[in-house]
Amino acid sequence: MNYLEKFRPQYHYSPERNWMNDPNGMVYYEGEYHLFYQHTPFATQPDFQRMHWGHAVSSDLVYWEELPPALPPGEDGAIFSGSAVVDKHNTSGFFDEEGSGLVAIYTNNDNKVQADKPQVQSIAYSKDNGRTWTKYGGNPVLFPGTTIDFRDPKVFWHEETSKWIMSLAVQDRIEFYTSSNLKEWTFASAFGADAVGTHRGIYECPDLFSINVDGDPNKKKWVLILSVGDCNGVNPNDPEPPAGGSGMLYFVGGFDGKTFISDEPVDSIDDLKWIDFGSDFYAAVTWSNMPEGAGRRLWLGWMNNWRYAGLLPTSQWRGSMSMPRELKLKTYPEGLRLVQEPIKEFNGIRSTLATLENVTIEPDMNPLVDITVDKAELIAEFEIGTATEFGFKVRKSADEETVIGFDSIEMELFVDRTNSGITNFHPDFAAKHRAPLDLSGNRVRISIYIDWSSIEVFGDDGTVVISDTIFPAPESNGLELYAVGGHIKLVSLHINEMESIWRMSDKVKEEAHADRGH
């Protein structure tokens, strides 16, 4: 396997073969970032009765090593989404006295242990840095009352109460449980059943964490993340996520060890805070046990959408992850808002391709006509002029292009993938995805990350993000800077080539590039 097949992401993680979806068990331990994920290791389609935890590790969140699947299904059911923690004080009793290790907390789907309870929570532990796992003999450790949807436990240690806290997706709400040992769990509270406009799909993959406000370690808030599935919810008349299908929401508030209270209750759909305005960022969760002193909250998401997830035009594998991103909580006139930025570690794999400064762009001119890129970083700042629309056309050829632009009339950032390449595998794929963007003064700042099958756009320093998959032909690598209806001033533009994270010999690269179009 050379990782240079057609559409294979070059600086985003994807498994060598077969199906992947939600990131799971994200934990930093003994110098390694662990990425587990939903994985069907024998097929390019999801098998919900035989789902595994796939596994990869990295020392820097850029280069990844894929390991054998960590948790296989068994008589206890398939291994659905969950989390992993470092049991530093051996509260579970799984480790040697005074020792520590990793504990995974996950959902068993199609459970056979508890009759009529198809989804239950189980745990497993590892004494060798996540390479091998032992399922707890007392599983399941938590099972539902009557609901069928009871899954995706995200667990963390709450210092103030000296308890483990579990956030769990339970159909139309998030339930919180507490434990002293990861084995026995007590219900604490629930959130979200009365949140207006959020129940088109069932809740999935919650995450609750404390984060600095404006970078001040003495000022913190709690953020609750939840993913909303593609319909099958309590109220199918609720609004879809901005780009349709599955999407993600967040709430900012307080947590006392038992109850989460949002600072801004959701009384109408106008109160909803969407995390991403593209189609393809879902089930994101944060890494636990980050290095001391780092002060960073990092995560990544699955770059796919349940509306068409199993139809993507890839062959040997299906599904990939976003770039790891750093989350920040910043104060704006409208309140506290979550901001996302690509992690700084990616600076190490970029090289300067071109720079421009103080150029006036008129209609029908393209100063980038001689530049070709298929995996790149574009960092641009514009000063508003008379143009009604402006931006970039990337992965461009005579009949393909993905347009990333700003609508000066509607004040919207957008990604238009209607002519981006292969789009006919689902009627909703060819679409234009929009996000409202409030300007800082009279300027627009956009950072764009292009890969062989993805676009990630960060507007105004990450206050607005649009993440979309695309499937262009390999030869579609043109780049255009455009303006419509008037001029625009390009204050600055940095175009950086991004190198592949799949390390291999030059000979293998040459052979793979020769074959890539087939």
Q: What CATH architecture is 20-342?
A: 5 Propeller (2.115)
φ/ψ of residue 509, rounded to 5: -60, -45
Ordered by start, the domain boundaries in the chain are: 20-342, 350-498
Burial 378-417 (b: 16+ CB within 10 A, else e): bbbbbebbebebbbbbbbbeeebbbbbbbbbeeebbbbbb
- What is the Cα–Cα distance from 233 to 452, expressed in whole angstroms? 34
The 443-451 sheet, strands edge to edge: 350-361, 488-498, 376-383, 443-451, 454-459, 464-469
Assess contact for 396 and 482: CB atoms under 8 A. no
DSSP letters for 366-393: -TTTT-B-SSEEEEEEEE--S-SEEEEE
The predicted model gives 240-264 an average pLDDT of 96
β-pairing verdict for 350-361 and 488-498: antiparallel
The pLDDT-based confidence of 163 (bands split at 50, 70, 90) is very high
What token pair was written down for 137?
Answer: 């003999």
CATH, domain 350-498, list 3.90.230.10, 2.60.120.560, 2.60.120.260, 3.40.30.10: 2.60.120.560
User: What is the pairing mode between strands 317-318 and 18-29?
Assistant: parallel
Enzyme catalytic residues: 22
- Whether 20-342 shares its CATH topology with 350-498 is answered no
What's the mean pLDDT in 86-104? 93
- In the block, which residue shows the tokens 């800077």? 481
For residue 454, the model assigns a pLDDT of 98
pLDDT at residue 318 is higher than 80: yes
Phi-psi label, residue 283: left if phi above 0, alpha if psi -120 to 50, beta otherwise: left
Length of the chain: 518
Identify whether the C-beta of residue 453 lies closer than 8 Å to the C-beta of residue 471.
yes
- The answer to whether residues 508 and 2 touch, using CB atoms and an 8 Å cutoff, is yes
| Helix/strand/coil percentages in the chain, nearest 5 | 5, 50, 45
Q: Which of 60-64, 120-124, 152-156, 511-515 has the lowest mean pLDDT?
A: 511-515
Q: Give the pLDDT confidence of 216-233 residue by residue, as tens digits.
A: 999 999 999 999 998 777
Q: What pLDDT is recorded for position 154? A: 98
pLDDT score of 505: 45
Q: What is the pLDDT of residue 510?
A: 58
List the single range of 200-209, 234-243, 301-310, 414-423 with lowest mean pLDDT. Answer: 234-243
Which of 28-32, 483-487, 504-508 comes out lowest in average pLDDT? 504-508
* Nearest alpha-carbon partner for 193 in 163, 149, 142, 241: 149
Say what the pLDDT of residue 518 is: 42
User: pLDDT, tens digit, for every residue of 8-62?
Assistant: 999 999 999 999 999 999 999 999 999 999 999 999 999 999 999 999 999 999 9
Cβ neighbours of residue 431 closer than 8 Å, sequence gap 6 or more: 243, 244, 279, 416, 417, 418
Judge whether residue 382 has pLDDT over 80.
Answer: yes
Gap between the Cα atoms of 310 and 378, Å rounded: 30
Tokens for 353?
A: 């391709």
Q: Checking DSSP bridges between strand 186-191 and strand 201-213, what pairing results, if any?
A: unpaired
- Which amino acid appears at position 72 of this protein? P
Whether the per-residue pLDDT at 115 is higher than 90: the answer is no
Write down the pTM of the prediction. Answer: 0.95
| More reliable by pLDDT, 270 or 252 | 252
Cα torsion 471, 472, 473, 478 to 10°: value is -160
Determine the residue type at 494.
H
Helix, strand or coil, per DSSP, at residue 482? strand
Question: If we measure between CA atoms, which residue out of 90, 81, 168, 175 comes closest to residue 125?
Answer: 90
Instruction: Specify the higher pLDDT residue, 507 or 255.
Output: 255
Closest CA to 415 of 428, 434, 429: 434
